[in-house]
Each structure stands twice: as structure tokens, then as C-alpha cells.
């Protein structure tokens, strides 16, 4: 039996056409914050990290990348608002392209998930609200993240932030990326407008579903006009309540977003399953993304605690077109090959997810051939 016939039996390894991009399989590298971009500048060690996880015709999404100097909320996360950052991304993108990969840059502003130490001139972080976040235990289970009460963006300031996203998208294309993914999920700035658990505005950006989604759509429209709809995706998590960003009716929010995004003709919509809890573990949940998949006309990507079995089932049952894998892809740079051969997976080490070491827990996970 040849390899093509084997792949035909594995839904995740079947080809897929995403707009203008011909993908060789449906396994996507999810955007993963790794905190190894010293001083917010991508580093040469990222060349190996991303190229290790590249397959010909495979789609990768970069770690979340700041659109401006107000975007930051974590140490050593990359940006794409300066010339230095754009130039630093170029060899990383080139390495992915050299292996035939397709590379999208996820762009974000963390909003109120920040403090004055990360902000220019020690100013308050920006948000839809002036409500602060309560301190949070960090991923290591020891340190406590402290947040500064945010500054509520005025209606006059909002277009400036929209423009930050537009310029970041333009910079991403200049750096060589094939497109951008707008980070509208997980309690960061865009999500702080979308969710009624955060957004307490009384102007045209608050209150109704339409008003709360206005900021997100203005960003989408600006980026589509700048680089073209075929190069734009968006990530959304209507069910998530990270950083105190829950919504009273997530089903209605997700459905409205999926339906409304159709008019822009995006490359894809990337939705996070409701079964992912605050400590990134799978939980059973009665909700479903199925209505959003049905409502969205384009490529529908899902993420959230997927393994090979779940992913194959989602593709086979037409509940998703693509599946993004995070922690398992982090620990298994050759994950599509392992799926193909039904090989065991390396276990991931959560303790090394967010350390600054340029090798440990980053590029030192073994390939199958290393284990033979």
C-alpha cells in the first residue's frame, strides 16, 4: 500500500484547499506563546523552532506578536511594529518557506492583561473598560501576575488602535508571512470588547452584540483592505472566560461573529472549543461549535485539547476543515509523520513552556529518527 492510500485513511492527513493555499494536510501548528523573543525582537533560535515543525504544504501560525508598544503583557514576546522586528522575522519566515510551509503571523494587543512595567512611559494598559483584573497565579503555579487598572479607550483613540493592527499586518507581509491571524480570543484586547463580562461601555462600542463586535470588525476590515481577505484569518473563543472575560450568551456571540464575518471573505475562522479550561485541560462541555461551522462559509479551523483521534473524527464528521494542535505539536516537531505512522508521541513538559532558554523545551524535543 502506498503512502497516498495510507493518508486517505487518516482524515487529518488528507489535502485541503484553503482559499489560494493548497495544504497537504489539515494539521496546523497553533499559535503558542514561548517567551523567547528577547526585548520583543524575534531571535535566530526561532528559525530552528519553526522550521522543525514545517512540512511541505503545512500551515503554521506564529506565536502571538504585538502590534504596537502598548501590546505587551508578558516578558519576551515578539512584536512586529518596528523595522528591527520585521527584519528579525524575515529569516524565520524564509526557513519555513524553504521547506514548503505556509506561515501566518498571529497579531495581538493584550489590552488590560498587562501592567505599567510592560507599557511605554509606565502608562496604564488600554482596554474597552477601566475595570482591573484580579491578580492571577502564573503558569508555574508559584508566581503571581499583577495587573494595573486599564485606561478605557475613548472613541477618538479606537481608530488609532485599529491602525496599529493594519500597520502590523502590512509589516507581516513585508516580513514575508503568507498572511495574518487576528487574535480575537482568550481575554485579550479584542475579546475585551466582544464579551459583556468585560465590556461595560455605553457608546457605539458597548451594549448590544452589534456594538461589542464593532471594534473587531473595524480591525478585520482595515486589514482586509490593506493586505487582502485571502491573507486574513481570525481566532475567537466565545466560550472562554480567560482573564475574567466571560460572556452571558457565548452561543449567540459566536454565531453572530461567524455569520457576520462572511462578508469579508476571510481565509479562515479559527474557533477554540469550549472544553478547554483555565489550566489548559480538556473538560466535558455540552456546548458545540457546530452552529458556527455551519454559519461560516469559509475554512473553519478548530483548536482546544485535540488529539489524533479527536482531530480525525472532527474532520471525518465535517465539524472542522483544519485542526490546530498546540502542546502536542510543541513536543513533537514531526507530529504529522507520527500520525501517519501511528507512532507514539513525546510527552510535553509544561515547566519549559515559558522559560527563556533558547534550546531547552524549545528545539530539543526528539524526532522519530532520533529515537531509533
Of 188, 205, 256, 365, which one is the catalytic site residue? 188
**Set of cell numbers at residue 79:** 512584536
7 beta partners = none
Distances (CA, A) of 367 to 24, 25, 41, 76, 278: 20, 19, 28, 27, 30
Work out whether the CA dihedral 352, 353, 356, 361 comes out positive or negative.
positive
Nearest CA-CA partner of 67 in 81, 46, 53: 81
Cα-to-chain-centroid distance, residue 26 = 16
For residue 356, count CB atoms less than 10 angstroms from its CB and return exposed for 0-12, middle for 13-18, buried for 19 or more.
middle
Q: What are the angstrom distances between the C-alpha of 279 and each of 24, 49, 136, 217, 330?
A: 32, 24, 12, 30, 17
CB 329 within 8 A of CB 3: no
Task: Look at the block and give the residue holding cell 479551523.
Answer: 301
- Bridge-based pairing state of the strands 21-23 and 16-18: antiparallel
Phi-psi region of 158 (alpha: psi -120 to 50; beta: other; left: phi over 0): alpha
Whether 188 is a known active-site residue: answer: yes
CA 101/CA 59 separation, integer angstroms: 6
- Sign of torsion, CA 210 215 220 225? positive
Task: Decide: helix, strand or coil at residue 136.
Answer: strand
Active site residues: 188
Amino acid at each position: 500500500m502506498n503512502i497516498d492510500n495510507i493518508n486517505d485513511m487518516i482524515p487529518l492527513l488528507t489535502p485541503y484547499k484553503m482559499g489560494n493555499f493548497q495544504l497537504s494536510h489539515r494539521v496546523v501548528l497553533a499559535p503558542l506563546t514561548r517567551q523567547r523573543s528577547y526585548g520583543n525582537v524575534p531571535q535566530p533560535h526561532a528559525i530552528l523552532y519553526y522550521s522543525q515543525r514545517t512540512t511541505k504544504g503545512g500551515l503554521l501560525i506564529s506565536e502571538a506578536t504585538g502590534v504596537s508598544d502598548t501590546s505587551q503583557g508578558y516578558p519576551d514576546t515578539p512584536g512586529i511594529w518596528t523595522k528591527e522586528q520585521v527584519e528579525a522575522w524575515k529569516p524565520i519566515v524564509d526557513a519555513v518557506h524553504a521547506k514548503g510551509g505556509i506561515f501566518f503571523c498571529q497579531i495581538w494587543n493584550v489590552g488590560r492583561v498587562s501592567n505599567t512595567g510592560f507599557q511605554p512611559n509606565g502608562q496604564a494598559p488600554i482596554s474597552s473598560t477601566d475595570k482591573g483584573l484580579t491578580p492571577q497565579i502564573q503558569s508555574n503555579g508559584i508566581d503571581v501576575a499583577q495587573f494595573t487598572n486599564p485606561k478605557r479607550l475613548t472613541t477618538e483613540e479606537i481608530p488609532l488602535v485599529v491602525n496599529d493592527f493594519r500597520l502590523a499586518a502590512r509589516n507581516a507581509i513585508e516580513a514575508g508571512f503568507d498572511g495574518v491571524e487576528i487574535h480575537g480570543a482568550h481575554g485579550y484586547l479584542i475579546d475585551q470588547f466582544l464579551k459583556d463580562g468585560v465590556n461595560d461601555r455605553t457608546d457605539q462600542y458597548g451594549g448590544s452584540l452589534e456594538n461589542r463586535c464593532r471594534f473587531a470588525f473595524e480591525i478585520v476590515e482595515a486589514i482586509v483592505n490593506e493586505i487582502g481577505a485571502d491573507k486574513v484569518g481570525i481566532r475567537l473563543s466565545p466560550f472562554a472566560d480567560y482573564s475574567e472575560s466571560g460572556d452571558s450568551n457565548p452561543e449567540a456571540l459566536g454565531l453572530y461573529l461567524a455569520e457576520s464575518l462572511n462578508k469579508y471573505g476571510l481565509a479562515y475562522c479559527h474557533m477554540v472549543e469550549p472544553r478547554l479550561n483555565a489550566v489548559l485541560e480538556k473538560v466535558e462541555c455540552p456546548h458545540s461549535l457546530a452552529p458556527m461551522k455551519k454559519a461560516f462559509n469559509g475554512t473553519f479551523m478548530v483548536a482546544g485539547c485535540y488529539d489524533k483521534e479527536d482531530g480525525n473524527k472532527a474532520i471525518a464528521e465535517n465539524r472542522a476543515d483544519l485542526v490546530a494542535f498546540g502542546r502536542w505539536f510543541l513536543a513533537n516537531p514531526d507530529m504529522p509523520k507520527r500520525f501517519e505512522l501511528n507512532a507514539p508521541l513525546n510527552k510535553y513538559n509544561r515547566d519549559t513552556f515559558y522559560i527563556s532558554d533558547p534550546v531547552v523545551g524549545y528545539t530539543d524535543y526528539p524526532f522519530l529518527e532520533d529515537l531509533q
